């Protein structure tokens, strides 16, 4: 079982670089299946899947952001304005998720995936064709948006890419730069959310190898492998057109959303 976690990490890392999502959604779906086989109680499986995914996203997103930053694809002024909201939202969202049942969390994650797939696949954007001449989005509205993104990301176990990327594209940012910026934002989301799942969890939430709801073998195994894979996804993102990225992203979310309730 423990050998499967690094394999998941490779998938998560490629998705992090390609889509800016840290692989969180696919990790949640896969871990919801695998963790009960590793001794995690079924009633805690979804919480542990979310918490472990978010913990691994810290390194995954950091590796992806570093790779994108080397090509100038991270808008650091935007990241600076969003981080305070992301940190607060991630902490509060994890507290809400801990209070929800396993079944409710599964349907929340599934519904989010399907809604995001529709929005990304069919939603409209006002971004110019090349994104040239657009200043990095800044100001308190980006901090407020970060709070909402952080809270919802904590509940569904992701790095926020499926919200941050469309927001930045709508503000006129080129898709590949939106992905890079989203990766940097994912570090803040992962840190605050994972800490929240660790500290908000009831005592003895996991029988072994856990800190709160964070299952350490999964979080560490996924994170180490994803760090190596993220730069490959980043290079692929720079080769694809913005429209191709949108289609890949939408299909990815649709498949994950259909699988989560039945895990």
Mean per-residue pLDDT for 193-222? 87
Given a contact cutoff of 8 angstroms between Cβ atoms, the answer to whether 56 and 193 are in contact is no
- What 3-state class would DSSP assign to 94? helix
* Structure confidence at residue 66 (pLDDT): 85
Mean per-residue pLDDT for 98-126? 78
Number of separate domains in the chain: 1
Confidence of residue 128 (pLDDT cuts 50, 70, 90): very low
Is the pLDDT score of 143 beyond 90? yes
H-state helical runs in the chain: 4-19, 24-34, 45-69, 76-99, 102-122, 140-156, 161-170, 175-200, 216-239, 242-259
Each residue of 173-198: pLDDT tens digit? 888 888 889 889 999 999 999 999 99
Is the pLDDT score of 139 beyond 70? yes
Cα dihedral angle (69, 75, 80, 81), rounded to 10 degrees? -160
* Structure confidence at residue 64 (pLDDT): 79
Each residue of 84-95: pLDDT tens digit? 999 999 999 999
- Quote the domain boundaries for residue 117: 4-262
Cβ within 8 Å of residue 74, ≥6 positions away: 65, 68, 177, 180, 181, 183, 184
Confidence of residue 124 (pLDDT cuts 50, 70, 90): low
Q: pTM for this one?
A: 0.82
Confidence of residue 23 (pLDDT cuts 50, 70, 90): low
In whole angstroms, how far apart are CA 63 and each of 15, 21, 59, 188, 234?
A: 12, 12, 6, 13, 10
Residue with tokens 């006129």: 172
Pairwise CA distance, residues 228 & 208, whole Å: 28
């Amino acid at each position: 079982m423990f050998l499967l976690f690094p394999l998941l990490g490779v998938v998560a890392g490629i998705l992090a670089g390609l889509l800016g999502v840290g692989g969180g959604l696919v990790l949640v779906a896969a871990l919801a299946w695998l963790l009960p086989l590793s001794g995690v109680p079924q009633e805690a499986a979804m919480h542990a899947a979310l918490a472990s995914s978010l913990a691994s996203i810290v390194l995954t997103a950091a590796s992806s952001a570093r790779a994108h930053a080397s090509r100038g694809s991270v808008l650091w002024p935007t990241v600076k304005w969003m981080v305070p909201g992301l940190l607060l939202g991630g902490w509060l969202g994890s507290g809400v998720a801990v209070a929800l049942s396993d079944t409710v969390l599964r349907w929340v994650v599934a519904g989010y995936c399907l809604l995001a797939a529709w929005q990304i696949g069919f939603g409209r954007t006002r971004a110019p064709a090349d994104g040239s001449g657009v200043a990095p989005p800044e100001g308190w509205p980006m901090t407020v948006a970060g709070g909402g993104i952080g809270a919802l990301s904590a509940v569904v176990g992701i790095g926020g890419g499926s919200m941050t990327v469309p927001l930045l594209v709508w503000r006129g940012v080129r898709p590949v730069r939106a992905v890079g910026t989203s990766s940097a934002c994912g570090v803040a989301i992962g840190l605050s959310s994972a800490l929240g799942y660790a500290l908000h969890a009831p005592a003895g939430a996991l029988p072994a190898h856990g800190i709160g709801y964070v299952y350490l073998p999964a979080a560490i195994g996924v994170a180490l492998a994803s760090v190596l894979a993220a730069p490959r996804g980043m290079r692929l993102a720079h080769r694809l057109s913005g429209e191709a990225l949108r289609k890949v992203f939408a299909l990815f979310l649709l498949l994950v959303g259909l699988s989560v309730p039945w895990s």
